[in-house]
Structure 1
Amino acid sequence: MIRVYLIERKSWLFMFAVAQVLVLLIAYLDYAIPLEPLLYIVFLTTLLFIIFLTWRYKKETSFIKRLQDWENSLDMSGIGEASSPFERAIEQALTDQTNRLQQLASQQQIALEQEKDELLSWIHEVKTPLTAMHLMIGRLGDEALKASLTFEWLRIHHLLDQQLHQQRLPSIENDILIENVDLEPLLYMEIKSLQSWCMQKGIGFDVQLDAAQTLSDAKWLAFIVRQILTNAVKYSDKQAPDIIVRSFSQDERVVFEVADFGRGIDPKDVPRIFDKGFTSTTWHQDSAATGMGLYLTQKAAHSLHIRISVQSEVGNGTTVTLYFPKPNELVRLTGV
């Protein structure tokens, strides 16, 4: 700060130095003016100037230091009171700008909440005709047409489900209820929802649940499992080997694993699969991929303190592993 202040006041310093040199030069050239008294005067004025400069440094930089330490949270109370006209002008400009930003932020927050409410309302409204459509599809006699329509219905249903959970994610902390979750009924419910798609592809599930219970939130855990199973079915070829789903205990924690034998993921894409909007560099022409499923899965898993690991090879399938927190860790992190 001292260096910055001296650079800011370099014109003062230069002017004072020029004045002192000029006085000495005049005394040196004019023999009628005694040099020694002038040297004494120059010394005293220089000492007085240094004291004055020190006092001004403390007074002028205190406001600047408060500005540097001020956390720009649209709260001007942390700056303190200005002590000079220039400081008051700066404070007034910052206050006016802060008030405008607060009003703008408030308006945008209200508009965002209204848009979110309207979208959630629209999603719930759309679910009603989708349910009716599913019942109508179930009454069709043409099995081929029935399977095709069920597949398309399932895609729409999952896209709406993704959008619904995406809107709920910002407030997920208020929506979590940690309890003992039985993995078997949760898993079979999600498998059942994919039944028509699996039948169309000729894909089954090999389920081995050695650890059947864990502490988590049932609703959000179901969403995470749904996204993983959907990807496993989506990227498995027809008549591919069964998708292996298993759970087991490891170091006092439950591990849940889904392994498919589909097209796999390119190694260079694995670090990016949880990025928002990322689809694939190998299968970039896949218009069915939205790049949102695994992004939302990772966000929800993070809130539940679940670690996700992905291992994959192109052409050899993908294994997604969920590492649940230890019960003691979960109690410590969530306070339940």
Structure 2
Amino acid sequence: MIKKYWREYGVWYGIYFFLSINFLLIFYLYHLPFSYFQASFIFNLTLLFLVTLYFYWKFYQKCKDLHHFIYVKEVEAIKKYTLPSDDAYQAIIQQTLQEHSSAIHSYKLKDKHYQDLIKMWAHQMKVPISAISLMAQTEQLDKKEVQEQLLRLENDIARLLNYIKFSQNHSDFLFEKCRIRSLFIDLIKKNKTFFLKKDLSVTIDGDWEIISDKKWLSFVFSQILDNAIKYNKKGGHIIITVKEGRILIEDTGIGILKEDIPRLFEEGFTGYNGHEHQKATGFGLYMVKKILNNLELDIKIESQIDKGTKVIIEKEE
């Protein structure tokens, strides 16, 4: 503690002794009685000693209160110090505490959001697992049904992992030449089980070679196709029209309420169809919009109840 005190106040003692030597030199040069200097020096030294005791006690108390504040975060411990410099430090500390409190609150909200998200996705992924488990227990394993449930589980896990990755800004974009038609064909082959189950026909017309991220584009198209399959009618149709600078995906599904369309890209929004069919998480289109923005593409949705939905993806102007 003494070393710390000396580091803070040592310069003043240095000035005092410098002035004392200066006065001694003056007395010597002018041949003044040394006894006068000696009396004055002893008096000032005694006064300096008493002042030092007082300031050291204040310094010790201040260090102790600051140490207490660091570990207990009790602001009252430092409010009694009212020097101008202390006021400035206290203002900084108050601001830092507020920012820290705000950051903790934000972190807790984000943590709760992730917990709710994981719970929701876990509940959704339990459905295909339960279906496979039931088939196994009843010894009625249907190859196509197992394949469908496994594909649904794979898609849900991929969606969850991509959402976490994207929301934490860990999305690794790699731009290269890719053909839109090929991406759709690969996705249709992958999801053919779902197309066959609902007896859906699909048509792809045109092509577009674009420089973009193949992985994230494929994820975007998979979300849109997933919705087109999910909310389509049995025996319905999906038409994909591709041309330079524009992609149109049409379905003959149940459509979307007019009042829900403006909110489709909000995080967590499911709308009437999502609540009614209990199949939506509300994160698919939110991620689609964010990813397309990063890829300098725009998305619009047009829909009519019982007539179907159109999803339009275009290059940003």
Fold conserved between structures, TM > 0.5 = yes
Q: What are the residue-to-residue correspondences of 1:293-312 with 2, within 5 Å?
A: 293-312=284-303
1:287 shift after superposition = 1.6
- Map of 1:323 onto structure 2: 314
Contact 2:251 2:308 in 1 (8 A): yes
Q: Is 2:270 the counterpart of 1:270?
A: no
- Map of 1:219 onto structure 2: 215
- Map of 1:228 onto structure 2: 224
Match of 1:163 among 160, 163, 171: 160
Q: Is 2:207 the counterpart of 1:207?
A: no
Match of 2:235 among 219, 236, 239: 239
1:210 shift after superposition = 3.7
- Map of 1:258 onto structure 2: 249
Contact 1:244 1:259 in 2 (8 A): yes
| Matched pairs, number | 218
Q: Residues 90 and 155 of structure 1: is their aligned pair in 2 closer, same or farther, counting only changes over 3 Å?
A: farther
Q: Residues 283 and 96 of structure 1: is their aligned pair in 2 closer, same or farther, counting only changes over 3 Å?
A: closer
- Map of 2:283 onto structure 1: 292
Q: Residues 181 and 317 of structure 1: is their aligned pair in 2 closer, same or farther, counting only changes over 3 Å?
A: same
- Give the % identical residues: 26
Q: The residue matched to 1:281 in structure 2 has which SS?
A: helix
Q: What are the residue-to-residue correspondences of 1:35-46 with 2, within 5 Å?
A: none
Provide the C-alpha distance between the structure 2 equivalents of 1:200 and 1:87, rounded to a whole number of angstroms: 77
Provide the C-alpha distance between the structure 1 equivalents of 2:280 and 2:186, rounded to a whole number of angstroms: 24
Give 1:185's aligned amino acid. S
Q: Deviations over 1:173-227 (max 9, x none)?
A: 761122221222211111112110111111121001243x112111111110110
Provide the C-alpha distance between the structure 1 equivalents of 2:147 and 2:140, rounded to a whole number of angstroms: 12
Provide the C-alpha distance between the structure 2 equivalents of 1:167 and 1:93, rounded to a whole number of angstroms: 39
Provide the C-alpha distance between the structure 2 equivalents of 1:156 and 1:300, rounded to a whole number of angstroms: 22
1:266 shift after superposition = 0.7
Q: Deviations over 1:273-292 (max 9, x none)?
A: 11111112356232221111
- Map of 2:178 onto structure 1: 181
Contact 1:172 1:303 in 2 (8 A): no
Q: Is 2:218 the counterpart of 1:198?
A: no
Q: The residue matched to 2:247 in structure 1 has which SS?
A: strand
Contact 1:173 1:303 in 2 (8 A): no
Q: Deviations over 1:154-181 (max 9, x none)?
A: 2222211111111111455761122221
Provide the C-alpha distance between the structure 2 equivalents of 1:221 and 1:255, rounded to a whole number of angstroms: 14
Contact 1:311 1:318 in 2 (8 A): yes
Contact 2:181 2:204 in 1 (8 A): no
Computing the radius of gyration from Cα coordinates, the structure with the larger value is: 2
Give 2:155's aligned amino acid. H
Q: The residue matched to 1:184 in structure 2 has which SS?
A: helix
Q: Residues 171 and 316 of structure 1: is their aligned pair in 2 closer, same or farther, counting only changes over 3 Å?
A: same
Provide the C-alpha distance between the structure 2 equivalents of 1:283 and 1:169, rounded to a whole number of angstroms: 23
Provide the C-alpha distance between the structure 1 equivalents of 2:174 and 2:196, rounded to a whole number of angstroms: 34
Q: The residue matched to 1:158 in structure 2 has which SS?
A: helix
- Taking only aligned residues, the RMSD between alpha carbons, in angstroms, comes to 3.6
Contact 2:165 2:171 in 1 (8 A): no
Provide the C-alpha distance between the structure 1 equivalents of 2:104 and 2:262, rounded to a whole number of angstroms: 37
Q: The residue matched to 1:256 in structure 2 has which SS?
A: strand
Provide the C-alpha distance between the structure 1 equivalents of 2:251 and 2:172, rounded to a whole number of angstroms: 31
Contact 2:258 2:303 in 1 (8 A): yes
- Map of 1:149 onto structure 2: 146
1:87 shift after superposition = 5.6
Q: Deviations over 1:32-84 (max 9, x none)?
A: xxxxxxxxxxxxxxxxxxxxxxxxxxxxxxxxxxxxxxxxxxxxxxxxxxxxx
Contact 1:276 1:291 in 2 (8 A): yes
Q: Residues 87 and 303 of structure 1: is their aligned pair in 2 closer, same or farther, counting only changes over 3 Å?
A: farther
Give 2:215's aligned amino acid. K
1:109 shift after superposition = 10
Contact 1:147 1:200 in 2 (8 A): no
Q: Residues 87 and 192 of structure 1: is their aligned pair in 2 closer, same or farther, counting only changes over 3 Å?
A: farther
Contact 2:201 2:235 in 1 (8 A): no
